[in-house]
Amino acid sequence: MKLRLSLLVSLGLCLCLAFAAGCSDGKKQQQGQGRRAVPVTVAEATLGSLPVSLTAVGNVEPYQSAAVRTQVGGLIVEQRVRDGQEVAAGDVLFVLDQRPFQAALKEAQGKLERDQALLKKAEDDFNRYSGLKQKDVVSQQQFDQASTDAKSLRASIKLSEAQIEQARLQMDYSVIKAPFAGRVGTVLVNVGNVIKANDDRNLLVLNQVQPIYVSFALPEQHLPAVTAHMGKAPLEVLAAVAGEESRPEKGVLASVDNSVDRATGTIKLKGLFANKDKRLWPGQFAKVTLNLESREGVLTAPSAAVQQGLQGPFVYVVGQDNTAALRPVETGQIVGERMVILKGLAAGDKVVTDGHVRLTPGAAVEIKAVRDAQDAVLAPKDSKAAQDAKDAKAAPGSKDAKAAPGSKDAKASGEKAQ
């Protein structure tokens, strides 16, 4: 009985010791895992120039636009333009039936020749009556009639000349030409249509898109700053349409309206763009940036690095020992993908842009990638962070460091060696 009791006690002690050893191994394993480096992406805080700018939403407008209509009526006999065609100034768009205008021109020319012949006879009669009047051979009434006939025919000749000019104008109007170089919209009438003089219908709409305007509005409180900088140099305007945000079109401020809109409290401005690649199109909405001046020596960091905490914005800075330090910062305006840092960082500081979720102050990090000032992602070997990443792998607690004694990996290695 005593022997049996002794065996039970010994067995219980063995179980307790095994349980204690297991707990110790588990705790060491957790500590080993806790020291593993957190993979992160970093970027450097950099000094550079910062444009002082105003932003707005604008609308693209043609440099010139014309709703082409006819000034004379008639049958369209030729259409020399198609939808979307590029035309030069003076290119023929449509031709109307010119036969009625040719007939009117010939009629006016015939009247002119007739009146010129009659005038010659009337002047001869007047000259003859003038000599006879001095001799009292003809009466005063006959003399006055000869003078009136000559004056009437001179007036008739002027009328005929005007009719000829009018007929020639109608001939010119029957050939409809492009008033300026541009792009044709949808052609609304075709050959065979009869149109009236000064018809309300448009034949087509012609827009000049090179150069091109972008109009936008700014709050009136910005007007003094805009007018102050306009006198120094042409102000740069950037316009980016949907899908082209990374490649804005560059232009200059062309005009500022002469009054503020009372209803909205804004003033209208226009930027002029060369639009060489025709990336701006009339009617598009565009994000407009008006650059007033440029400040030098401004510290910026990627916006993705700035996190919000209970005490305000902060960033994680990677030190020389490849550990993360939480650093409060004071931020300024956002410029593209970067944010102005007013206080809390220095140029060259490496800030974490990806991997914040697993970070705590003092945590070991492994630099997986680096973003340059243009936000291009580089492998660690392409940057100064390569050596930091290499050192991180050898740092205690990193996942590539030698397994800590008592950890699961160390235990497995020991069993294999045995």
The CATH number given to whatever domain includes residue 308 is 2.40.420.20
Q: 13 vs 207, which has greater pLDDT?
A: 207
Confidence tier at 97 by pLDDT (50, 70, 90): very high
Between CA 328 and CA 336, with CA 330 as vertex, the angle to 5 degrees is: 115
Range name among 236-240, 280-284, 311-315, 379-383 with the lowest pLDDT average: 379-383
Whole-number Cα distances in Å, 107 to 102, 173, 197: 9, 18, 21
Q: Do 319 and 263 belong to one domain?
A: no
Asked if residue 348 is part of any domain, the answer here is yes
pTM above 0.75, yes or no: no
Confidence tier at 382 by pLDDT (50, 70, 90): very low
Pairing of strands 249-256, 236-241: antiparallel
pLDDT at site 378: 44
From CA 387, how far away is CA 397, in angstroms rounded?
A: 17
Average pLDDT over residues 159-187: 94
**Amino acid (one-letter) located at 230:** M
Asked if residue 280 is part of any domain, the answer here is yes
pLDDT at site 407: 43
From CA 407, how far away is CA 32, in angstroms rounded?
A: 6
Can you give the CATH number for the domain in which 112 is found? 1.10.287.470
Q: Do 290 and 302 belong to one domain?
A: no
Q: Do 152 and 231 belong to one domain?
A: no
Q: Do 284 and 320 belong to one domain?
A: no
374: pLDDT strictly greater than 80: no
Number of structural domains found in the chain: 3
Burial class (CB in 10 A: 0-12, 13-18, 19+), 269: buried
Two tokens at 218?
A: 């700014």
From CA 146, how far away is CA 125, in angstroms rounded?
A: 6
Pairing of strands 365-371, 377-378: antiparallel
Asked if residue 404 is part of any domain, the answer here is no
Burial class (CB in 10 A: 0-12, 13-18, 19+), 175: middle
Which of 173, 189, 215 is the last residue before a domain boundary? 173
From CA 206, how far away is CA 64, in angstroms rounded?
A: 8
pLDDT at site 17: 52
Q: How far apart are the first and last CA of the chain?
A: 40
Q: Do 314 and 383 belong to one domain?
A: yes
Confidence tier at 398 by pLDDT (50, 70, 90): very low
pLDDT at site 399: 44
Average pLDDT over residues 114-126: 82
Can you give the CATH number for the domain in which 226 is found? 2.40.30.170
Average pLDDT over residues 183-206: 92
Average pLDDT over all residues of the chain: 82
Asked if residue 134 is part of any domain, the answer here is yes
Query: Smallest Cα–Cα separation from 111: which of 168, 166, 172, 163?
Result: 163
Average pLDDT over residues 366-395: 56
Q: Do 363 and 377 belong to one domain?
A: yes
Average pLDDT over residues 172-191: 95
Q: Enter the DSSP assignment of 243.
A: T
- The number of CA neighbours under 13 Å toward the Cβ of 306 is 23
Calculate what percentage of the chain has a pLDDT beyond 90.
54
From CA 224, how far away is CA 230, in angstroms rounded?
A: 10
Confidence tier at 379 by pLDDT (50, 70, 90): very low
Pairing of strands 350-354, 307-309: unpaired
Average pLDDT over residues 271-292: 94
226: pLDDT strictly greater than 50: yes
Q: What is the pLDDT of residues 8-51, one digit of tens each?
A: 545 555 555 555 545 455 444 444 445 688 999 999 999 988 87
Which of 249, 271, 295 is the last residue before a domain boundary? 295
Range name among 117-126, 312-321, 332-341, 385-394 with the lowest pLDDT average: 385-394
327: pLDDT strictly greater than 90: yes
pLDDT at site 385: 44
Q: Do 253 and 321 belong to one domain?
A: no
Asked if residue 406 is part of any domain, the answer here is no
Asked if residue 115 is part of any domain, the answer here is yes
pLDDT at site 14: 53
Q: 385 vs 267, which has greater pLDDT?
A: 267
From CA 291, how far away is CA 235, in angstroms rounded?
A: 6
405: pLDDT strictly greater than 50: no
Q: Do 304 and 268 belong to one domain?
A: no
From CA 189, how far away is CA 381, in angstroms rounded?
A: 65
Confidence tier at 198 by pLDDT (50, 70, 90): confident
From CA 199, how far away is CA 195, in angstroms rounded?
A: 7
pLDDT at site 383: 44
pLDDT at site 3: 45
pLDDT at site 16: 54
Beta strands in 109-242 (DSSP E): 175-177, 182-184, 194-195, 204-219, 236-241
Q: Do 224 and 288 belong to one domain?
A: yes
Which of 265, 295, 325 is the last residue before a domain boundary? 295
CB of 35 within 8 A of CB of 396? yes
Residue range of the domain that includes 263: 52-62+206-295
Confidence tier at 373 by pLDDT (50, 70, 90): low
Q: 331 vs 396, which has greater pLDDT?
A: 331
132: pLDDT strictly greater than 90: no
Q: Do 375 and 321 belong to one domain?
A: yes
Asked if residue 181 is part of any domain, the answer here is no
Asked if residue 16 is part of any domain, the answer here is no
Q: Do 389 and 320 belong to one domain?
A: yes
Confidence tier at 406 by pLDDT (50, 70, 90): very low
